A and B are shown apart, each in its own frame.
Chain A
Amino acid sequence: MKSPSDAILLKVEGVSKRFGITQALDEVSVSFRAGEVHALMGENGAGKSTLGKVIAGLHRQDSGTVTIDGKMLAPGSIDEAFAAGVRIVHQELAQCPNLSVAENLCLHDLPKRAGFLVDRAEMNRRAASLLARIEPEIDPSAPLGSLSPGHRQIVQIAAALDEGKPDRDGAAGHSARVIVFDEPTSSLSIAETERLLKIVRQLASEGLTVIYVSHRMAEIFACCDRVTVLRDGKFVGTSNVADMAEADLVEQMIGRRIEATTRRETVSASDARPILEVRSLSSPSKLSGVSLTVKPGEIVGVGGLVGSGRSELLDAIFGLDPSATGEVRVNGQIVRAGSPRAMIRVGVGYVPEDRRLQGLFFQLGCDENIVIPVMPRLARAGVRSLRAERTLTSARLRKFQVKAAHPSIAPGALSGGNQQKLLIARWMSPDVKVLLLDEPTRGIDVGTKSEVYKLVRQAADRGTAVLLVSSEMPELLALSDRIIVLCQGRVTGELHGEAMTQAGILRLATKESAA
């Protein structure tokens, strides 16, 4: 790894920021060098994203300063930060999928012809020149929505590299000097992540300062030079990545050591009769002939790359895919196709991938978020039984340690980890015999992750059959008793015992046309 120069480019000194009662940042000081990839790490709510946004001028700090090259930036001024060369690549893909790549890249300043017509040729030329620096393969005239998530992320990086409009007095634009990446890989596949990390390294080698906010340990060790850890809004330390072990970093983040995620004792339930049986489940262009079984107390992992049909498989099992064909049996009984309600009645629970979009109701309280699937059963003649609901929710919130100020508070006020625990708690009832989990630890911090693992294992120990989808290989390997691997909507293999390795999963996941 190329050693970055020691010149300090960007200095954050004594920055504090408070949101309501939450002290997001507390007297944080960090120095960033030119030409380094500098990771910001911490649990959810540690303040790393907030710090990135303060640097980019998106948030106005309550106190403290941000200086670039000795020049102090006005707090909360996006324009001044932009002029000084600070760019941010957002966590969410903030783009217009219905417009072309070039239009997205030039949206802030569409080139004009004859005063009001859009100069498409100039626009495409400008977009192509931006893309050429990092990924010339992308066609500027293609609709953005037709691109893969990885390429869309790259388009956003290209937008960040834009020099902006030349000043009115003709002075040149402002070239990028600092780029903040906020969780850039959360929606990318393995290959796309690798490509992105390469681009990040390339930008640093060109002398830019890259500030890299991420949860993923592997990425930090693969591409970052130094890492600053924040905890509860406070600065914990800055270290050279090369001098750190993963365990040290985790300890810095959560303030204590956690036991390494070890593989669970495989249950020998071979004699038990499967509780979930899926037979030749197919859906046009999503799944073809997937069959699998899960026994009580068994955790079956589903591996595969992004787009291999993992979430689609769970959707189809749960009856959410109207065009799915095939058979799903629970406890030996065929369940009516296309009806999530029938699935819930026979004891199937589903924690979907995206808790914001598919999981939680943000206008309802935490309590109602938990009881909603069982509300009709607790109710008498359609009228809610508030007492029964309260007993159930308070027990569930306590058991799953959802940190909510009050049971009826809206989930939006909880941290991401607590939101996820809330969603899992919804389905952790003794009536749920089959649990479908899709990325149960997405976007939550290390400490909460190990809690979630414990919850999943406990559920399995109680005899629940678990079907687990995860993009994080260590998680899949640590939790699963066996792993089924999907590629292009079909099962390409199953791994047991010693054969369960990252390499094994990857080999099956890329076994393209195994028919």
Chain B
Amino acid sequence: MLAAQESGLIVVIALMMLGLTLATESIRRPHFVAPSPGGSLTSVEGGWVLKGADGREKKYAAADGYELLDSGGEPRLRRFVMVNKFLNKENLVGVATVSSFIAIMAVGMSGIIISGGIDLSVGSIYALAAVAGAFAMQALGPGASLAVALPIGLLVCCGVGALCGAANGSVVVGLRVHPFIVTLGGMAIYRGLAFVTTQGQSIGDFPSALTLGFFKKTMGGVNPVPMIFMVVIAVAGAVVLRHTVFGRRTFAIGGNETAGRYAGIPVGRTKIMLFTIAGLLAGLAALMRLGYYGAVASDAGQGYELDVIAAAVVGGASLSGGRGSAFGAMLGAVVIQLIENGIVVLGIDSNYKLIIVGMAIVVAVVVDQAKQRLTAGRG
């Protein structure tokens, strides 16, 4: 079902993960064992016994490297384990979570790029939507339930995002200005609005049902919610692009806008919709972020436009329009995050990030064009 582009990306991701696993050294990491509330920790011959609240007991032997820490606070056990700096649960979950913010925006970006446009303002829309959402969540207070916080959060964040996107699209279509210019202006305007409304302050105190109880909910050491959102949006994006009239019109416009007009496609309306959806998805990513991190400042998502466009392009979206896919955008986001994570785990100076991501974009486009030429030569 996956196209060649996407299968190729999966291979690239697998190779990157293999490479990073081999290239990073193992580190000693502490692993803690503490009694849960109502439980107890008792010292026995050659080790300790942890008694749970339900009365179940588990033995930890000193021979396995456990030692007791009781200097202040609850007594707990600690031992050091060797883990690969890249290939461990915490790191991979972190990569997947940050990927999901980028991926959701990259799906919207892919739609715009397929239609032959570009949106540079995505990072700023994300920031403005996050700030607006943060004010709303702060107003609800830490005690609000998820049933209240989530709908309001969606409404505010996605609403603000969609409004910004609709504004971009309307100016592009109505005033016939190139989307590059419109969204370059939008990038500054929306970021500026975020600065002005927050006065540069960080905003926190969100309903914990939304943060710890939902977006940061941990199940078996994994935060599944952002990843579920990512997959759902990517699948929805793929269905829209492949199986709806709107999706096929997007490809048609990007391939040949003039022919689109002659075939009776509502070119303007389709473009405005695409920008609106991209803005809405940036708003959704913003809500996920404020839920995940529990605080927002106006400089959130600085430079995200680079990551998002890179993800879409690495995922196979052609800047000349007419080609691209939602799954590709998601996988592209993972590739970009793996690059950024690789820089961290390999211990490379993080100032090199921009250089490496920038080169990745160019390489992706060059490889893609070479592939195009190869297939064209066969026709």
Tell which of A64-72, A280-288, A351-359 binds the partner.
Answer: A351-359
Closest A residue to B242 by beta carbon equals: A384
Whole-angstrom CA separation of A352 from B263 in the bound complex: 10
Is A326 interfacial (CB-CB < 8 Å)? Answer: no
CB distance from A283 to the nearest CB of B (A): 16
Whole-angstrom CA separation of A368 from B263 in the bound complex: 12
Interface contact A363-B378, CB-CB below 8 Å: no
Is B248 interfacial (CB-CB < 8 Å)? Answer: yes
Whole-angstrom CA separation of A246 from B377 in the bound complex: 36
Tell which of A79-87, A99-107, A207-215, A336-344 binds the partner.
Answer: A336-344
List which B364-379 residues lie within 8 A (CB) of chain A. 377-379
Interface contact A343-B322, CB-CB below 8 Å: no
Instruction: Given the known inter-chain contacts A20-B378, A361-B251, please indicate yes or no for A379 contacting B263, CB distance below 8 A.
Output: no
CB distance from A435 to the nearest CB of B (A): 13
CB distance from A376 to the nearest CB of B (A): 5
User: Looking at the complex, which one of B246, B256, B266, B378 makes contact with A361 (CB distance below 8 Å)?
Assistant: B256
Interface contact A384-B323, CB-CB below 8 Å: no
Is B219 interfacial (CB-CB < 8 Å)? Answer: no
Interface contact B256-A362, CB-CB below 8 Å: yes
User: Looking at the complex, which one of A344, A357, A359, A382 makes contact with B264 (CB distance below 8 Å)?
Assistant: A344
Whole-angstrom CA separation of A336 from B164 in the bound complex: 31
Interface contact A426-B377, CB-CB below 8 Å: no
List which B153-179 residues lie within 8 A (CB) of chain A. none
Chain B residues within 8 Å of A20, by CB: 377-379
Whole-angstrom CA separation of A358 from B259 in the bound complex: 4
Interface contact A376-B256, CB-CB below 8 Å: no
> Size range of the interface on A?
20 to 34
Contact indicator per residue, chain B 345-379, by CB within 8 Å of chain A (1) or not (0): 00000000000000000000000000000000111
Is A74 interfacial (CB-CB < 8 Å)? Answer: no
Chain B residues within 8 Å of A361, by CB: 251-252, 255-256, 259-260, 322
Chain B residues within 8 Å of A383, by CB: 243-245
Chain A residues within 8 Å of B322, by CB: 361-363
CB distance from A323 to the nearest CB of B (A): 14
Interface contact B245-A379, CB-CB below 8 Å: yes
Interface contact A382-B246, CB-CB below 8 Å: yes
Whole-angstrom CA separation of A165 from B266 in the bound complex: 52
CB distance from B78 to the nearest CB of A (A): 56
Is B31 interfacial (CB-CB < 8 Å)? Answer: no
Interface contact B264-A413, CB-CB below 8 Å: no
The residue among A340, A363, A376 with the most chain B CB atoms within 10 A of its own CB is A363
Is B254 interfacial (CB-CB < 8 Å)? Answer: yes
Contact indicator per residue, chain A 417-450, by CB within 8 Å of chain B (1) or not (0): 0000000001000000000000000000000000
Is B258 interfacial (CB-CB < 8 Å)? Answer: yes
User: Looking at the complex, which one of A318, A372, A413 makes contact with B248 (CB distance below 8 Å)?
Assistant: A372
Chain A residues within 8 Å of B323, by CB: 363
Whole-angstrom CA separation of A413 from B377 in the bound complex: 11
Interface contact A320-B261, CB-CB below 8 Å: yes
Is A375 interfacial (CB-CB < 8 Å)? Answer: yes
Interface contact A368-B254, CB-CB below 8 Å: no
Chain A residues within 8 Å of B256, by CB: 357-358, 360-362
Chain B residues within 8 Å of A372, by CB: 248-249, 252, 263, 265
CB distance from A219 to the nearest CB of B (A): 29
User: Looking at the complex, which one of B244, B252, B262 makes contact with A340 (CB distance below 8 Å)?
Assistant: B262
CB distance from B131 to the nearest CB of A (A): 33
Chain B residues within 8 Å of A373, by CB: 263-264
Chain A residues within 8 Å of B243, by CB: 383-384, 386
List which B262-299 residues lie within 8 A (CB) of chain A. 262-266
Interface contact A364-B262, CB-CB below 8 Å: no
Whole-angstrom CA separation of A501 from B260 in the bound complex: 37
User: Looking at the complex, which one of B245, B246, B255, B258 makes contact with A362 (CB distance below 8 Å)?
Assistant: B255
Interface contact A343-B248, CB-CB below 8 Å: no
Chain A residues within 8 Å of B377, by CB: 19-20
Contact indicator per residue, chain B 95-113, by CB within 8 Å of chain A (1) or not (0): 0000000000000000000
Whole-angstrom CA separation of A19 from B243 in the bound complex: 34
CB distance from B325 to the nearest CB of A (A): 12
Interface contact B255-A364, CB-CB below 8 Å: yes
Interface contact A368-B264, CB-CB below 8 Å: no
List which B215-257 residues lie within 8 A (CB) of chain A. 243-246, 248-249, 251-252, 254-256
Whole-angstrom CA separation of A88 from B83 in the bound complex: 67
Closest B residue to A410 by beta carbon equals: B379
Whole-angstrom CA separation of A202 from B230 in the bound complex: 69
Chain A residues within 8 Å of B252, by CB: 361, 364, 368, 372
Is A350 interfacial (CB-CB < 8 Å)? Answer: yes
The residue among B245, B256, B260 with the most chain A CB atoms within 10 A of its own CB is B245
CB distance from A385 to the nearest CB of B (A): 10
User: Looking at the complex, which one of A384, A413, A426 makes contact with B244 (CB distance below 8 Å)?
Assistant: A384
Whole-angstrom CA separation of A318 from B263 in the bound complex: 10
List which A289-348 residues lie within 8 A (CB) of chain B. 318, 320, 340-341, 343-344
Is A493 interfacial (CB-CB < 8 Å)? Answer: no
Whole-angstrom CA separation of A375 from B264 in the bound complex: 11
CB distance from A405 to the nearest CB of B (A): 11
Whole-angstrom CA separation of A358 from B263 in the bound complex: 9
Is A412 interfacial (CB-CB < 8 Å)? Answer: yes
Chain B residues within 8 Å of A320, by CB: 261-262
Closest A residue to B260 by beta carbon equals: A361
Whole-angstrom CA separation of A343 from B264 in the bound complex: 8
CB distance from B122 to the nearest CB of A (A): 24
CB distance from B104 to the nearest CB of A (A): 21
Whole-angstrom CA separation of A225 from B251 in the bound complex: 49
The residue among A318, A340, A362, A368 with the most chain B CB atoms within 10 A of its own CB is A340
Whole-angstrom CA separation of A344 from B263 in the bound complex: 8
Contact indicator per residue, chain A 203-234, by CB within 8 Å of chain B (1) or not (0): 00000000000000000000000000000000
The residue among B263, B266, B322 with the most chain A CB atoms within 10 A of its own CB is B263
CB distance from B161 to the nearest CB of A (A): 22
Chain B residues within 8 Å of A359, by CB: 259, 262
Interface contact B262-A352, CB-CB below 8 Å: yes
Closest A residue to B377 by beta carbon equals: A20
Interface contact B262-A363, CB-CB below 8 Å: no
Interface contact A364-B264, CB-CB below 8 Å: no
Chain A residues within 8 Å of B321, by CB: 363
Whole-angstrom CA separation of A176 from B322 in the bound complex: 42
CB distance from A427 to the nearest CB of B (A): 9
CB distance from A384 to the nearest CB of B (A): 5
Interface contact A350-B262, CB-CB below 8 Å: yes
Closest B residue to A372 by beta carbon equals: B263
Chain B residues within 8 Å of A364, by CB: 248, 251-252, 255
The residue among B245, B262, B265 with the most chain A CB atoms within 10 A of its own CB is B262
The residue among A340, A359, A361 with the most chain B CB atoms within 10 A of its own CB is A361
Chain B residues within 8 Å of A341, by CB: 264, 266
User: Looking at the complex, which one of A358, A382, A384 makes contact with B262 (CB distance below 8 Å)?
Assistant: A358
Whole-angstrom CA separation of A37 from B256 in the bound complex: 39
Known contacts A359-B259, A372-B252, A373-B263; 11 further A-B pairs (Cβ under 8 A): A340-B264, A344-B264, A352-B259, A358-B259, A361-B251, A361-B322, A363-B251, A363-B321, A364-B248, A372-B263, A375-B248
Residue pairs across A and B with Cβ atoms less than 8 A apart, 10 shown, are: A341-B266, A343-B264, A361-B252, A364-B251, A372-B249, A372-B263, A375-B249, A382-B244, A383-B245, A413-B379
Interfacial residues, chain B to chain A (CB-CB below 8 A): 243-246, 248-249, 251-252, 254-256, 258-266, 321-323, 377-379
Cβ-closest 3 pairs across A and B:
A363-B322, A363-B255, A344-B264
Interfacial residues, chain A to chain B (CB-CB below 8 A): 19-20, 318, 320, 340-341, 343-344, 350, 352, 357-364, 368, 372-373, 375-376, 379, 382-384, 386, 412-413, 426
